[in-house]
A = this chain, B = another copy of it.
Amino acid sequence: MERMVVIGGDAAGMSAASQARKRRPAQELEIIAFERGDYTSYAACGIPYLVGGLVEEVDELIARRPETFRDQYQIDARIRHEVVGIDLDAQEVEVRNLEEGRTFRQGWDQLVVATGAAPLRPPIPGIDAEGIYGVQTLNDGTAVLAAVEEKPREAVVVGGGYIGLEMAEAMVLQGINVTLVEQAPQPMTTLDPDMGARVADALKGAGVQLRLEEPVEAFQVENGRVTGVQTGEGTLPADLVILGLGTRPRSELARDAGIGIGETGGILTDIRMRTDQDGVWAAGDCIETFHRVSNQPVAIALGTHANKQGRVAGINLGGGYATFPGVVGTAVSKICDVEVARTGLSSREAAEAGFRFTSVVVQSTTRAHYYPGARRMSTKIIAEEDTGRLLGAQIVGLEGAAKRIDVLATCLWNEMTVGEIQGMDLSYAPPFSPVWDPVLIAARKASEKLEAR
């Protein structure tokens, strides 16, 4: 009988465990999953909606509890168990039972490292004070929810990425005064500046105070608790601070054990999710993956990738065959009424990757202009100059705008040119689209711009 040990009980780890179990019964493969938090298999992306009150119970964010894994899958999922070391030679992990305070060793034949991502915490004075929260695990989420329920007056979000903006909206919904502090000229720097500016307008419209181009210099702390955020422009009062500065792969455990780490800081794997160590697999936010447009390694923390990668690891570990084909950098978010989406490379990323490119932005509507509920949307397309190949796209608009990014992600996946895209047979009816779909118009304008050179 073999034993599989999983480090991290969320999307990647538990997908791997479930898929392995599906292929190998309990008599053949024992599966133990260690999770340092209180929850397994949860929707971390749902945290802002829990904090904002759109989701009423933390339970709604939990897909499967440890009991379910034990009873239905014969997977021994143990919460409040933190793995603190990996011993490759002995094929053992060192585990701390956080409930009982004791540490023990657990042997494995197959190990899956699914340690997730950690919110970035730059060394700003005071950053470890109480009242300053990263938002990554469901435990983080319930901690912020508890803080919000104490009715703070002033919240400051530091950093305008997806999580930062979603949390800003959530706290506005809870009646808190929210200020967003961002060192760049726009929030959401994964978008081009012109598209990010549209998001800034939406945030202002929703009542979020924006402090752009203001790097945080220090946190004001009294009795160990945060009371303010100091920027170059002054001090903002703060009862509560959310860090939205991005994340990094939580790969220290793997690195310390001698498992190979890539240039992005993520664990290196092959397309079947094998690390460079026999019997050791990795999946989810802790790994480095491959960007199909830039052909560069990237570390992208996203539940959808984690699920897919965990599944691939579990299938392979269970004796099947599956591969993870990489990513094209697709992301979507809804900030108040505004939908925001991107795929591929931004202008900055395209330049960094070495591409020569051009771009267009088109204004359109989500439905035929005469159909009730037609809303404004802007679509930006970035295309390679010489070949016309699509390199990236961004959408900012109102209801019904953002999910169209998937068409462009699919075009990127297939290395289509804007000339090809403009002729595609996309669905049209007045409740869904103008007769020229915004995606087609954007591709057409990009194609015309390239031809006119």
Contact = CB atoms under 8 A, between A and B. Distances in A.
Interface of A: 11, 43, 45-46, 49, 54-55, 60-61, 162, 292, 302-305, 307-308, 323-334, 339, 341, 343, 368-372, 400, 402-407, 409-411, 413-414, 416, 420, 423-433, 435-437, 439
Contact of A428 (B332, B368, B424): B332
Contacts of A43: 368, 370, 430, 435
B403 A308 contact: no
A49 B432 contact: no
Contacts of A426: 304, 330, 406, 409-410
Q: Which of the listed residues A54, A304, A409 has the most CB atoms from chain B within 10 Å of its own CB? A: A304
Nearest to A344: B425
Contact of A49 (B11, B371, B436): B371
28 contacts: A43-B435, A46-B370, A46-B371, A54-B372, A60-B370, A292-B425, A304-B435, A304-B436, A304-B437, A307-B435, A324-B423, A327-B425, A329-B425, A330-B426, A331-B427, A332-B427, A332-B433, A333-B429, A341-B427, A402-B432, A403-B427, A403-B432, A406-B439, A407-B407, A409-B424, A409-B427, A410-B414, A413-B425
Given A46-B370, A407-B407, A436-B307, A332 B425 contact: no
A368 B423 contact: no
Contacts of A45: 368, 428-430, 435
A298 to B, nearest CB: 11
Contact of A403 (B46, B292, B430, B433): B433
A425 B371 contact: no
Contacts of A46: 368, 370-371, 430
B341 A55 contact: no
Contacts of A405: 427
Contacts of A424: 325, 409-410, 413
A89 to B, nearest CB: 35
B414 A427 contact: no
Contacts of A435: 11, 43, 45, 303-304, 307
Contacts of A371: 46, 49, 54-55
B413 A370 contact: no
Nearest to A407: B406
Contacts of A305: 425
A427 B330 contact: yes
A429 B328 contact: no
Contacts of A334: 429, 431-432
